[in-house]
Structure 1
């Protein structure tokens, strides 16, 4: 597709993006089978660190946390203590909760970066609803999980066909950063925390920088 076909590359912007964590709850997490548990937890916390690093307005929401779904994973709240927290009394689609939508509207931002559990419901439903309401929606695929890869792929296809943009947490970080020179140590430190191999790059970089200094 070319520009003549109506395509525009709308990049994530630190000035227009908001991070949304939907239903990363202790009970629901047990349903995630399309990623190994350790890898999935790393991906979710990487997204939380990205929201914190770039200072993005952030909304955390849970559904029926007093029931089997359980409370929000504590590490997310610890990483993002100032995030708006919306415990929904029961709505499955977060977009059906007025407090959740108002929290987004109050930021004045139009780019929604969403991750959640499970991908086919807790992510797909509000993502599709937000697109319908005119928002640009970006789903962090590897910080969202569900029953198996077949369910995940069907959910991602459904969202993509509606205009949702699919990304992983690493590409979200890089698109927000735009230029390594903005803060190579800061972003590099974040990446090395969540990508063991990247730690080697940062070690080499720091060593080389020390020699030059």
Structure 2
């Protein structure tokens, strides 16, 4: 990579900007059927599961979610039906008709402002357009931005790598689904523990069933 930990540290103060349910909103941009089939930088099913995990985390933690699609009546297709079904009740879904950058649609911008959270977790398809431009615009508006790379996808690995460099250079925290959920959780003994364990086991980390058993033991005070 072309950026250093020192450069990133100048932009991101973990103790100050640490994600929590009361300071975070999630933006899911253009997880549409016609776009996901073009993803080649990593597994399409894994991408979809991670996007679902972020949506479901909105319910578990009470994190506001804003979703958006782009020209969904054309070749991009609709948002993933299973994603729409997993969104928290009342989630605004902004169907853009031409704006490439979701923030260029005033309805999307207004919905994000209404969430009133300083930290934004953003995922989008494709990475170098939908995720990229939304993240850059959010940074320009003063938000702390976490770009979730494994809940996003693009047409090739080079596009993903160049996107990571550009995002990091703009002060965006490049992140993963599991890291975001773990940061929101902080402690398995909190009320969000069982829901997070289910998300890990069913979506973000399918091998994670054993950890669910560990969580249950922690809840009983066992060590």
Provide TM-score, normalisation by structure 1. 0.91
Secondary structure of the equivalent of 1:35?
Answer: coil
Residue 128 of structure 1 aligns with which residue? 136
2:196 is the alignment partner of 1:187: yes
Residue 34 of structure 1 aligns with which residue? 41
Query: 2 CA distance for matches of 1:205 and 1:50?
Result: 17
How far residue 82 of structure 1 moved from its aligned partner, in angstroms, is 2.4
How far residue 190 of structure 1 moved from its aligned partner, in angstroms, is 2.1
2:209 is the alignment partner of 1:202: no
Provide TM-score, normalisation by structure 2. 0.87
* Unpaired runs of at least 5, structure 2: 1-5
Written as runs of structure 1 = structure 2, the 5 A alignment for 1:110-189 is 110-183=118-191, 184-189=193-198
Change (3 A) 1:89 1:179: same
Residue 3 of structure 2 aligns with which residue? none
Change (3 A) 1:120 1:209: closer
Bigger shift: residues 30-39 or 95-104: 30-39
Please give the root-mean-square deviation of Cα atoms over the aligned residues, in Å: 2.3
Query: 1 CA distance for matches of 2:148 and 2:98?
Result: 24
Q: Structure 1 residue aligned with 2:92, among 69, 80, 84?
A: 84
The aligned length equals 211
Secondary structure of the equivalent of 1:163?
Answer: coil
Larger Rg: 1
Query: 2 CA distance for matches of 1:134 and 1:19?
Result: 16
2:84 is the alignment partner of 1:74: no
Secondary structure of the equivalent of 2:74?
Answer: coil
- 2:55, 2:65 within 8 Å by CA — same for their partners in 1? no
How far residue 200 of structure 1 moved from its aligned partner, in angstroms, is 2.1
Change (3 A) 1:6 1:147: closer
Secondary structure of the equivalent of 1:20?
Answer: strand
Secondary structure of the equivalent of 2:94?
Answer: strand
Q: Structure 2 residue aligned with 1:63, among 63, 70, 83?
A: 70
